[in-house]
Amino acid sequence: MRCPFCGHEDSQVKDSRPTEDGAAIRRRRQCEGCAARFTTFERIQLRELTVVKSTGTEGQLRREPFEREKLVRSIAIATRKRPIDPVRIEKLVSGIQRQLETSGEADVSSKRIGELVMDGLKALDPVAYIRFASVYRDFSEARDFEAFAGQVGEAGRE
């Protein structure tokens, strides 16, 4: 592991323990070059995932490697300025990734990922759910947004 301070290649692990959600291992390290201490988080990757996306032209498909950071970014945008504990967001992302990795499929459609995010946000925060849905479902007019928000409001009263 490269030191973030001096760039030295070797570091010594001083302490390891699982994170709160159990999806990663937190390691405290010390650089052998400059003696600086830093923390790394290591995640277990069960399988390599490939995201399959529709290009929109005559049913053509595009494949790209799954990137956890993209999932984190899209959920962060939907939850921006909402009173949601970051630990709950991290658990949501880890849960979605775990579901994808344990599905038994190496190829995962972007639609499947979107639906998992929608399900997770629906349980987490109604505003974040509507924000994500407005982009994911590609609302083209204000009335599309109103109709969807109305459905969410009605479901919350049940």
For residue range 137-156, what is the model confidence (pLDDT) as tens digits? 888 787 877 888 888 766 65
Which residue type does 77 have?
A: I
pLDDT at 5: 95
Count: domains in the chain: 2
Both 131 and 69 in a single domain? yes
Q: Which residue has the tokens 């995640």?
A: 43
pTM (global) more than 0.75: no
Domain that holds residue 35: 11-43
Both 124 and 144 in a single domain? yes
Both 37 and 99 in a single domain? no
Residue 1 lies in a domain: no
Both 77 and 153 in a single domain? yes
pLDDT band, residue 17 (cuts 50/70/90):
very high
Both 95 and 113 in a single domain? yes
Both 69 and 137 in a single domain? yes
Contact 37, 14 (CB under 8 A): yes
Half-sphere exposure of residue 34: CA atoms within 13 angstroms, side-chain side:
11
Which residue type does 1 have?
A: M
